[in-house]
Amino acid sequence: MAMTIKPIFTLKEALKSLWRNRLMSIASISSVAATLMILGIIFALIININSMAQSAKDQFDTIQAYLVDTLPVEEIETIMTQIEAIEGVKSVAYESKSDALANMKESWKDNAYLLDGLEENPLPSSVVIYLEDIYYSSGVLKGIEGINGIEEVKSYQDIVEQLLAITEAIRKTGVIVIFVLIAISTFIIHNTIKLTVNSRQREINIMKYVGATNWFIRWPFLTEGTLLGLVGAGISALFMKLSYDYVFELMHSDFYVLVSAYIVPPGELMRDVIFLFVVIGAGIGALGSIWSMRKYLNV
Amino acid sequence: MIEFLNVTKKYENGISALNKVSVKIEKGEFVFIVGPSGAGKSTFIKAVLKEIAITEGQVIVDDQDITKLHRRKVPFLRRKVGVVFQDFRLLPNKTVYENIAFAMEILGTPHRNIRKQVPMILALVGLTGKGNFYPNQLSGGEQQRVSIARSMINNPPILIADEPTGNLDPDTSWEIMKVLRTINRRGTTILMATHDREIVDIMKKRVIALENGQIARDDKIGVYGYDD
């Protein structure tokens, strides 16, 4: 069966109808935009915290055991063999005082010249312990406790655990909040489209008697709903882009140098966000409009 | 063309609107359906249009058993059955031409054909030159002719008219009947539910009288037979 769907005509009709009910249209667009903005913020938070947790995890693959100053070479070697014997240790490496200073200079980058003024190297030598898996970390830490000559141990376990807990919490509440908001927006769009459907009930009824298929009738309303969703998506995408760029810039200013390394750059994130917005926005709109037509099509 | 085999329709409130109705209407016939209000006329028409699902029996339209027709296929049945109502059901914000063209657009008819065929159908119902009028600029009889034109534009083999003269004065009613007779002579099967005694008595066509959901009379050349 041939069916002429005239895209430009349909679009024009949809815009006309949206303009006629502009108050409800604005309400629908705002609700979609608000939903997507909140979704976007939660999404950005999750992505960033994930990335932070990931880099923290990578660092946590190592434990650094700082040695008592001026330890003779033989004793250092004994300590190293002792550590290597602990279950879960992949390898160990010795980091001398000068190595430590060099590493620090490297990580400070542009500010490294500040270290040039030091008369004496204040950094301790250490043994870097590479773990087979994060899983072994607490066992290894316990094993090290009994070894003489180790002054201090540095590990990131607490941070990683906290980060993982926070990520999990944000993800869970995020999903719930997003679902509730999507349901609300769909409902609001459903009401908006219902206004048009009501005003065209007679037309729909006649169309049914002349033998129009349900999809033929649905099409213009579907276009309207999807359009509402897409405009909402556009607005929220613009909002996300501006605010994320702003936050990213802010984090890159001198005060937050340490944090900024973990923040996902806008380019990557915005691609995902825009894709997500378009899909969910159009989805909410389409769903809302199909829902609003249901009872009118059963003639 | 239309065949009912032991058709029963019980509504949810327990009323049976049709009770074991069997009837056969041949191609090209002109049939009146008469009977008091609530006798089952509307239900009969709705069953042909598949607007309702019957409880028992079988309905065949244009050689097709529509008893268990899938909902998605109903639009295609409706394209074979034109419908005219008492209240015309025209779109007030569309012109006469647009009201008729609309029924063709739904089927995806190219505009070239629409422009050719709409004037032809307007001539058939006697409305030549009225294409650019809006429904509220026309008389009741003229509006009903637009509605007939719309129902016939896609050339359905069957035309159902549900009280088509119910809102019209006697003179205008006769004009409508002339149009319907013309359409019937061109080969379209017509099924008309009516309360109009004069029309039924003068037309001398087949009359099926429904009473309490059953066929009370079925005469080849019948009369209205009620005192209104």
Token pair 């072994």 is at which residue?
A: A136
Provide the chain B residues 72-91 that lie in CB contact (below 8 A) with chain A.
72, 75-79, 83, 89, 91
Q: Do the beta carbons of residue B40 and residue B26 sit within 8 Å?
A: no
How far is the C-alpha of A5 from the C-alpha of A25, rounded, in Å? 24
Q: Do the beta carbons of residue B1 and residue B157 sit within 8 Å?
A: yes
Beta A150-154 vs A62-67: how paired, if at all?
A: antiparallel
Name beta bridge partners: B190. B30, B159
Record the pTM. Answer: 0.68
Taking an 8 Å cut-off on Cβ atoms, the answer to whether A211 and B154 are in contact is yes
Q: Do the beta carbons of residue A32 and residue A229 sit within 8 Å?
A: yes
Q: Is B14 within 8 Å of chain A by CB?
A: no
How far is the C-alpha of A63 from the C-alpha of A241, rounded, in Å? 39
For B31, phi then psi, to 5°, come to -125, 130
* B154 contact residues in A (CB cutoff 8 A): 210-211
- pLDDT tens sequence for chain B (228 residues): 999 999 999 988 888 899 999 999 999 999 999 999 888 899 999 999 999 999 999 999 999 999 989 888 999 999 999 999 999 999 888 899 999 998 998 888 898 999 999 999 999 999 999 999 999 999 999 999 999 999 999 999 999 999 999 989 999 999 999 999 999 999 999 999 999 999 999 999 999 999 999 999 999 998 888 876
Concatenated DSSP letters of B53-98: --SEEEEEETTEE-TT--GGGHHHHHTTEEEEETT----TTS-HHH
Token pair 């509402």 is at which residue?
A: A228
Taking an 8 Å cut-off on Cβ atoms, the answer to whether B105 and A4 are in contact is yes
- The three-class DSSP label of residue B196 is coil
Q: Do the beta carbons of residue B228 and residue B36 sit within 8 Å?
A: no
Token pair 């919490």 is at which residue?
A: A169
**Of the candidates B27, B38, B41, B18, which has an alpha carbon nearest to the alpha carbon of residue B158?**
B27
**Of the candidates A197, A159, A212, A216, which has an alpha carbon nearest to the alpha carbon of residue A288?**
A197
* Domain regions of chain A by residue span: 7-56+160-297, 69-148
Concatenated DSSP letters of chain A: ------HHHHHHHHHHHHHHTHHHHHHHHHHHHHHHHHHHHHHHHHHHHHHHHHHHHHHHTEEEEEEPSS--HHHHHHHHHHHHTSTTEEEEEEE-HHHHHHHHHHHHGGGTHHHHT-SS--PPPEEEEEES-GGGHHHHHHHHHT-TTEEEEE--HHHHHHHHHHHHHHHHHHHHHHHHHHHHHHHHHHHHHHHHHHHTHHHHHHHHHHT--HHHHHHHHHHHHHHHHHHHHHHHHHHHHHHHHHHHHHHHSGGGHHHHTTSPPHHHHHHHHHHHHHHHHHHHHHHHHHHHHHHHH--
Q: Which of A2, A203, A212 sits opposite B75 (nearest CB)?
A: A212
Name beta bridge partners: B18. B9
Complex-level ipTM: 0.84
How far is the C-alpha of A243 from the C-alpha of B131, rounded, in Å? 57
- The three-class DSSP label of residue B169 is coil
How far is the C-alpha of A1 from the C-alpha of A11, rounded, in Å? 23
Q: Which of A205, A211, A299 sits opposite B106 (nearest CB)?
A: A211
Nearest CA in chain B to A2: B108
pLDDT for the residue numbered A172: 87
How far is the C-alpha of A242 from the C-alpha of B84, rounded, in Å? 59
- What spatial distance separates the first Cα and last Cα of chain A, rounded to whole Å? 21
Mean pLDDT by 10 residues, chain A (299 residues): 60 81 85 88 82 71 83 85 86 85 79 77 85 78 83 76 77 85 86 80 85 86 89 93 87 67 80 91 89 77
Q: Which of B103, B108, B151 sits opposite A3 (nearest CB)?
A: B108
Right CATH for A69-148 from 3.30.70.3040, 3.30.300.180, 3.40.630.10, 3.40.50.360: 3.30.70.3040
Q: Which two tokens stand for residue B77?
A: 């049945």
By CB atoms closer than 10 A (0-12, 13-18, 19+), residue A152 is: exposed
Which amino acid would we find at residue B42? S
pLDDT for the residue numbered A2: 41
